């Protein structure tokens, strides 16, 4: 489990972001830490691709970048959304972030 702490510059609130662990799939770190604009991952079922994409998305979001995620099935989007929402839950809870569940976005 990775923990990142930040302070909202407007409210001064300290927010803790907890990212899923990459221990089960050590090669996820290569995807998560890649600086490439686009990434292709060749991995089998249950290889940790969706979780790696969620971790990377949260890190980029916290760096002030917009993130778009698309997947072929609603189930895959749901898993991604679950991971992102769980990581950013504290920020939503204290009101630093705004989450729209029906349209799947956080700002």
Residue 19's closest CA among 95, 88, 99? 88
Quick: pLDDT tens for 45-69.
888 888 899 999 998 888 888 889 9
Quick: pLDDT tens for 13-39.
677 787 877 777 778 888 888 888 888
Q: What is the pTM of this model?
A: 0.79
Quick: pLDDT tens for 80-92.
999 999 999 988 8
Secondary structure (DSSP) of 39-69: ------TTSSHHHHHHHHHHHHHHTT-----
Question: How many angstroms separate the first and last alpha carbons of the chain?
Answer: 23
Q: What is the rounded distance in angstroms from the CA atom of residue 61 to the CA atom of residue 80? A: 14
Highest mean predicted confidence (pLDDT) among 7-16, 25-34, 69-78: 69-78
Contact 27, 62 (CB under 8 A): no
pLDDT score at 16: 78
């Amino acid at each position: 489990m990775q923990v990142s702490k930040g302070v909202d510059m407007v409210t001064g609130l300290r927010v803790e972001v907890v990212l899923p662990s990459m221990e089960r799939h050590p090669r996820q770190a290569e995807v998560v830490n890649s600086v490439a604009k686009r990434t292709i991952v060749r991995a089998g079922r249950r290889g940790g691709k969706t979780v790696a994409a969620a971790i990377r998305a949260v890190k980029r979001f916290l760096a002030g970048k917009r993130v778009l995620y698309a997947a072929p099935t609603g189930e895959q989007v749901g898993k991604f959304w679950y991971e992102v929402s769980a990581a950013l839950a504290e920020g939503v809870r204290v009101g630093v972030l705004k989450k729209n569940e029906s349209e799947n976005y956080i700002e």
